[in-house]
Chain A
Amino acid sequence: MNKPRGKKIDVVSAVTVALIIAAVLAPMPIAGQTYLIQVLVLILIFATLAQAWNLLAGYAGQPSLGHAALFGSGAYTLALLTFYVDFFRYNPWPAIFIGGFIASMVGLAVGALCFRLRGPYFALATLAITEVIRLIVANTDFTQGALGVTVPTPPKVETPLFTIDFAEKLPYYYIALAIMLVSAYVVYAVSKSRYGLMLQSIRDDEDATASLGVNTFRLKMMAMFISAFMAGAAGALYAVFISYIDPSLDPGGVLTLFTSIDPILMTIIGGVGTIIGPIIGAAIKVGLGEYLRVTFGWKAGLDLVVFGAIFMVIFFVARRGIWGVVKTVTREGWGPVKADLLKLLGR
């Protein structure tokens, strides 16, 4: 019983290492193709954001609709630091951590208010707070209001051995990859720690968890702190990568509902409560989105229609998310998946 289990873990870690190496080498054959690398960077940034949502919602069962507030806090922290402080104009990289930290503070404030609520009430409260934050940012001079903030391109780093030019996309790829891998590892570590089981039990039944001595509020705040840090760091990197952020309602705006919904879509498509799920989901959401935009761009909105149709199919066929289905099938065979489908067909 124990032996095959040990073997299985080895296979998983071998595959993981292989995937990381592949991710590190991936840009080589497409080094010149700026657009492709840009898409890859966005996938990695959103995979981090999705992973953040996954920790709070997938593991701890708190369905936040406010991750845009955290992503936006990080983005605005970096943008405003480069705007007001000379040091960060020449070296914005420490601001990624500061962005994560400020987002954590915002997250704790949101949590202190919203964790008193459950389920859909929690979700709607986080949504409301996000919109309030967006409106404050849009109407405050300090944050440049509706004008938005332009982030200058970080200067070249020159060493005797190599030169890193941030006017190119490739350096961002590696920074985004590092942040994404660290965030995935953090979620993995939390899920395997003593807090992992308690977060999961909060998701299953919060009252019963509290009756067993778990301070559920504190644990939810802890999950929020980590989740918000990851979302904030992703947002900060996004700001310096895109080099302009504003509080508009457009799909690209960092504080919009789109930014809150995207990580949810990604995580659900990929597999809620799994480490790989959000990464797969981000790749599909961003990658497929770009592909469709190019292919169906000749008619306004057509790409989104096709996009929606594809998502519906994924939801129907893979109710546990793509990675969730893979996991279920390897562990229990096709039975549960078939049962899901039959249920959907009304059997």
Chain B
Amino acid sequence: MTLLEVKELSKHFGGVVALDGVNIKVDKGELVGIIGPNGAGKTTLYNCVTGFYPPTSGRVFFDGKDVTGLPSHRLCRMGMARTFQIPRPFMSMTLLENVMVGALGVGMSLREAREKAKEIVSFLKLEEQANKPISKLNFNYRRRCELARALATNPKLLMLDETFAGLNPSEIDEMVKLVRKIHESGVTIMLTEHVMKVVMSLAERIVVLHQGRVIVEGSPKEVVNDSRVVEAYLGQRIFV
């Protein structure tokens, strides 16, 4: 069953075409990776789908409904949660309070939100950091806090934007485990990444964006061996 369908989505910023007729389908229970070099349009795609930018043209369907142009808080309440490429924690709060906002946002009471936040914090192994001010925690924990916050909204679809960027190798390993765990708990996941290795090990299906277009779609193996992908990442082969 299709959970998210992006149809002919385009986004122009003045003369710059950031997205050019993108079509993507995500089925319930899938773990889809969106890859592409810097500037390929990954984050713009996220912003258009999650209601941050109105798309120039095209439609977005979520859970069978046309949700094009809906504000982000409504999309979130329908079950679409996202994280940001650069973590945007609520700096005046503790980690637990950050997570609570997610639960409050979708309508829980203060007590329910605290329970929910505690549950998620232990699910993501953040108990030790829970009551510390987020401003005192490092980048790795802020990242995970974003993940926790998004999970607290009970999402059907979790959209992760470069969740592995800026982490060291052991932190990446841990994060991969967490993302797998979340996926196994029944959440459909879409993630962007430009570090190929991580996506290859995680995603079941990969969509390659290049200059605002989907150029290839397929299993990790197919994608890696596709000459167009190699070209997009490394440039055209030149014979001398």
Q: Which residues of A contact B (CB under 8 A)?
A: 193-194, 197-198, 200-201, 203-205, 207-216
Of all chain A residues, which has the CB nearest B93? A200
Nearest A residue to B83 via CB reads A211
The one of B81, B90, B102, B106 in contact with A205, judged by C-beta atoms closer than 8 angstroms, is B90
| B34 within 8 Å of A (CB atoms) | no
A273: nearest chain-B partner, CB-CB:
B92
Q: B-side interface residues toward A, CB under 8 Å?
A: 50, 52, 71-73, 76-77, 81-82, 84, 88-93, 97-98, 100-102, 104-110, 113, 149-150, 152-153
Contact B102 A212 (CB under 8 A): yes
Q: Tell which of A197, A207, A208, A210 touches B100, judged by Cβ atoms closer than 8 Å.
A: A197
Known: A205-B90, A212-B102, A215-B73. A193 touches B81 (CB 8 A): no
12 new A-B contacts at CB < 8 Å, known A204-B90, A204-B93, A212-B152: A197-B97, A200-B90, A201-B101, A208-B84, A209-B90, A210-B72, A211-B84, A212-B101, A213-B77, A213-B106, A213-B107, A213-B153
A204 to B150, CA, bound (A): 17
B43 to chain A, nearest CB (A): 13
Which residue of chain B has the shortest Cβ distance to A195 in the bound complex? B104
Whether B92 pairs with A211 at a CB distance below 8 angstroms is no
Complex Cα distance A211/B98, Å?
Answer: 13
Q: In the bound complex, how far is the Cα of B150 from the Cα of A26, in angstroms? A: 51
Which B residue's beta carbon lies closest to that of A205? B88
Q: Is the CB of A207 within 8 A of B105?
A: no
Chain B residues with CB below 8 A from A207, complex form: 52, 72, 88
With A211-B82, A212-B153, A216-B73 known as contacts, the answer to whether A197 contacts B88 (CB < 8 A) is no
Among A193, A201, A213, A216, the residue within 8 A (CB) of B90 is A201
B-chain residues with CB within 8 Å of residue A216 when the two chains form the complex: 73
Q: For B113, give the chain A residue with the smallest CB separation.
A: A194
List A contacts of B105 (CB < 8 A). Answer: 198, 209, 212-214
User: What are 11 of the A-B contact pairs (CB < 8 Å)?
Assistant: A197-B110, A204-B89, A204-B90, A205-B90, A207-B52, A209-B101, A211-B81, A212-B81, A212-B101, A212-B152, A213-B102
